[in-house]
């Protein structure tokens, strides 16, 4: 079994490659991992084309939802995007928060940060910045964000509990998050779970939906709500790289085990404030 640092390195290398690929190559792959069914983009991702602030140069086709549409962002808000990639969700958030607000993208891949900064420079956005760092150790002070968003990123991080702890730390009391991510409602074949490419391609590191929601609750969040949920069907031309024909038939005959969810939760206000680990959460 690979260590946490080894898993992170696999993802970092893969997404460094993705940052250098053209958009069409990324779109025709499962979360941009390259070389698989063109069906997957429409299955994994939602269409941003009509969303205000959308920038095609910043859309690498790596998401599994539209968290900005559900994030209740207001004008003047400070918004943080976890795993910001080339900056697409940051630019969409900026269209809502306006000149009076601020948007910070965090990504641990240097190539992605370079790409996002170049995109922000072209758009002449002075209130959008991108910081290099891990989302389980955010390079951001406590109690600064009104809203946190993320799109198909937490599932790539081995220590998801640490990420939710950091989200809690960085949100202002009364702040909230809206996160699109991949979760499981059943067991995946070992061949898929252990494949490094599928790990970097959004599926193999996903955890059970109930465990995912428990991490949110354990870290002190309230009003946890599933805003959207859709099944993810892996096409056979991807499965054939990991499973035999018989295994594919068996897998397809079982209930869908992989889902994209968009989940919302709030950090309590000052009067209801609770520090995770204190026993009050």
Q: Specify the range with the lowest mean pLDDT, choosing from 71-80, 154-163, 202-211.
A: 202-211
Q: Does residue 113 carry a pLDDT above 90?
A: yes
Mean pLDDT, rounded, for 151-158: 89
Q: Specify the range with the lowest mean pLDDT, choosing from 17-26, 86-95, 197-206, 264-273.
A: 17-26
Decide if 270 is inside a domain. no
Q: Does residue 41 carry a pLDDT above 60?
A: no
Q: Does residue 29 carry a pLDDT above 60?
A: no
249-266 residue pLDDT tens: 988 898 888 899 999 999
Decide if 275 is inside a domain. no
Decide if 8 is inside a domain. yes
d(CA 113, CA 91): 14
Mean pLDDT of the chain: 83
CATH number, domain containing residue 89: 3.40.50.150
60 vs 154, more confident: 154
Mean pLDDT, rounded, for 155-160: 89
Q: Does residue 182 carry a pLDDT above 60?
A: yes
176 with 266: CB under 8 angstroms? Answer: yes
Q: Does residue 163 carry a pLDDT above 60?
A: yes
Q: What is the share, in percent, of the chain residues with pLDDT greater than 70?
A: 75
What pLDDT score does 196 carry?
53
**Number of structural domains in the chain:** 1
Decide if 98 is inside a domain. yes
Decide if 271 is inside a domain. no
Q: Does residue 44 carry a pLDDT above 70?
A: no
Position 206 confidence tier, pLDDT thresholds 50, 70, 90: confident
Decide if 160 is inside a domain. yes
Query: CA-CA-CA-CA torsion for 106, 210, 200, 56, nearest 10 degrees?
Result: -50
Position 36 confidence tier, pLDDT thresholds 50, 70, 90: very low
d(CA 113, CA 130): 6
Decide if 277 is inside a domain. no
Mean pLDDT, rounded, for 10-23: 64
Decide if 274 is inside a domain. no
Q: Does residue 139 carry a pLDDT above 90?
A: yes
Domain with 260 in it: 4-264
């Amino acid at each position: 079994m690979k260590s946490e640092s080894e898993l992170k390195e696999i993802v970092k290398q893969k997404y460094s490659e993705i940052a250098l690929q053209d958009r069409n190559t990324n779109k025709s792959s499962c979360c941009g991992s390259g070389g698989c069914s063109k069906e997957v983009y429409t299955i994994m991702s939602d269409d941003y084309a009509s969303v205000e602030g959308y920038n095609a140069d910043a859309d690498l086709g790596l998401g599994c939802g539209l968290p900005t549409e559900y994030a209740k962002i207001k004008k003047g808000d400070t918004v943080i995007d976890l795993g910001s990639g080339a900056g697409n969700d940051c630019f969409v958030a900026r269209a809502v928060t306006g000149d009076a607000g601020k948007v910070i993208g965090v990504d641990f891949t240097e190539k992605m940060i370079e790409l996002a900064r170049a995109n922000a420079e072209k758009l002449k956005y002075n209130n959008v910045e991108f910081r290099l760092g891990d989302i389980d150790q955010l390079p951001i002070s406590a109690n600064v964000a009104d809203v946190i968003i993320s799109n198909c990123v937490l599932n790539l991080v081995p220590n998801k509990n640490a990420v939710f702890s950091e989200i809690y730390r960085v949100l202002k009391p009364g702040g909230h998050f809206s996160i699109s991510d991949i979760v499981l409602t059943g067991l995946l074949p070992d061949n898929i779970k252990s494949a490094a490419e599928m790990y970097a391609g959004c599926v193999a590191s996903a955890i059970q939906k109930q465990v995912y929601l428990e991490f949110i609750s354990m870290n002190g969040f309230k009003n946890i709500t599933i805003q959207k949920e859709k099944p993810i069907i892996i096409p056979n031309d991807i499965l054939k790289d990991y499973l035999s024909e018989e295994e594919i038939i068996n897998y397809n005959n079982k209930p869908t085990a992989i889902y994209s969810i968009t989940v919302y939760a709030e950090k309590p206000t000052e009067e209801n404030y609770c520090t995770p680990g204190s026993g009050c959460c």
